[in-house]
Amino acid sequence: MSSTFSFQCLACCSQTKARVGVFSTPHGIVETPRFMPVGTLANVKTLTPAQLKETGAQMVLSNTYHLHLQPGEKIVAGGGGLHKFMGWNGPMLTDSGGFQVFSLSEMRKITEDGVIFRSPHDGQIINLTPERSIEIQNTLGADVIMAFDECPPYPATRQEVQAATARTYRWLQRCIAAHQRSDQALFGIVQGGVYLDLRSQAAVALAELDLPGYAIGGVSVGEPPELIASIVQATAPLLPPDKPRYLMGVGTYREMAIAIASGVDLFDCVIPTRWARHGTAMVKGDRWNLKNAKFREDFTPLDETCACYTCQNFTRAYISHLVRSQEILAYTLLSIHNISELIRFTQKIREAILGDRFTKEFAHWLTPGEMG
Ligand SMILES: [Zn+2]
């Protein structure tokens, strides 16, 4: 691993594969396990970086595909790179753009070289290859960058997934060759769909490349939650123990708890901010629609045990009023609370692992059930 990055394991659970670690990057540390908020277009929607920091966020994501289309990586670089451009001085991660491009099923063509698609902004033809994705991510300048991978849809045949997994490995080698910056860590991504033997083979092959970190991708694409758990259980333990492990696109309480028990360290998901924009608060594992009549005259905080700015200063009645009036402040206050809630959930798991109380304190979240 490059000297600017390190992963130190501080404690392991005696009952599961859960672990507590510190991932060091050029822009600071990430205490794992940890939830990472998503700032698609170089901002976490409706939050200033100062508000974001107060939620307990350490590493923040941004999307290569979206930033390439608007404003373009040259403008981000002209603004001093992603950190300076968006005013976030902490660790950052960009994805490869692959996931978004593969979601454009109507408008794209996949070849061995890469993916050709039409920009939904202006109709321009864009050719995204492993080399181009890495070049864009090198220009954006996040601390962690992701390999360009082929994310097969769900459902897909074994043959289709096998071909995509093999191509993902060839593309990873091209990404490694194209990567130019030693102050950025390139993570490889394990694919393999819901076929556990393909997942295991991919994990073993990637582990041999001695990358600074590893991700499990292609989950949360429509498959049932119990399949996500099996995929993670079959994959995470095969990845090198001295490197961070990141489960992409997963951020519900139960899925995170189960993945942490398999040895996963990092998570991201748009759920807390997306739900905030729908007027939904995440409170102690439940979802509340603030438009519900019962909140109109409820003058208590969302969660009286929550230390976030929203819960310390506002009532359910006030937030309900803002949501009903479609005031932007509603989305800000709910995003602050929802992100704080998910980060706190992973922090509490961290403390429980340190005290070896994880399976006892989080038993409720470690069994299959409601998504939560
Ligand atoms: Zn709160």
CATH code for the domain of 92: 3.20.20.105
Number of domains in the chain: 1
Question: Which residues fall within 8 angstroms of residue 38, CB to CB, at 6 or more apart?
Answer: 44, 60, 61, 62, 63, 268, 269, 270, 273
Distance 138 CA to ligand 1 centre (A): 36
In the numeric block, which tokens belong to residue 193?
């769909």
Angle at 183 between CA 181 and CA 187, to 5 degrees: 80
pLDDT at res. 242: 98
- Residue at 334 is within a domain: no
- Residue at 299 is within a domain: no
Report whether 13 belongs to an annotated binding site: no
Report whether 149 belongs to an annotated binding site: yes
- At what angle are helices 196-207 and 158-178 packed, to 10 degrees? 20
pLDDT at res. 1: 47
- Residue at 319 is within a domain: no
Report whether 95 belongs to an annotated binding site: yes
Report whether 311 belongs to an annotated binding site: yes
pLDDT at res. 104: 80
- Residue at 26 is within a domain: yes
Q: Report residue 131 CA to chain centroid gap.
A: 23
Distance 311 CA to ligand 1 centre (A): 4
Q: Which residues pair with 230 in a beta bridge?
A: none
- Residue at 21 is within a domain: yes
pLDDT tens digit string along 2-22? 569 999 999 999 999 999 999
Residue with tokens 């100062």: 50
Distance 286 CA to ligand 1 centre (A): 13
Specify whether the CB–CB gap between 274 and 239 falls below 8 A: no
Q: Which of 188, 191, 165, 192 is nearest to 176 (CA)?
A: 188
- Residue at 102 is within a domain: yes
pTM value > 0.85:
yes
In whole angstroms, how far apart are CA 188 and each of 120, 226, 277, 327? Answer: 28, 24, 32, 41
Q: Which of 290, 285, 292 is nearest to 301 (CA)?
A: 290
- Residue at 41 is within a domain: yes
Low-confidence ranges of the chain (pLDDT < 70): 1-3, 105, 369-372
In whole angstroms, how far apart are CA 76 and each of 25, 28, 47, 67? Answer: 20, 21, 19, 8
- Residue at 372 is within a domain: no
Distance 329 CA to ligand 1 centre (A): 15
Q: Which domain holds residue 231?
A: 6-275
Report whether 99 belongs to an annotated binding site: yes
Give the residue numbers annotated as catalytic, written as ranges: 95, 268
Angle at 292 between CA 288 and CA 294, to 5 degrees: 100
Q: For the beta carbon of residue 185, count every other beta carbon within 10 angstroms.
A: 26
Distance 309 CA to ligand 1 centre (A): 7
Angle at 142 between CA 136 and CA 143, to 5 degrees: 130
pLDDT at res. 107: 76
pLDDT above 90 covers what percent of the chain? 90
pLDDT tens digit string along 265-291? 999 999 999 999 999 999 999 999 999
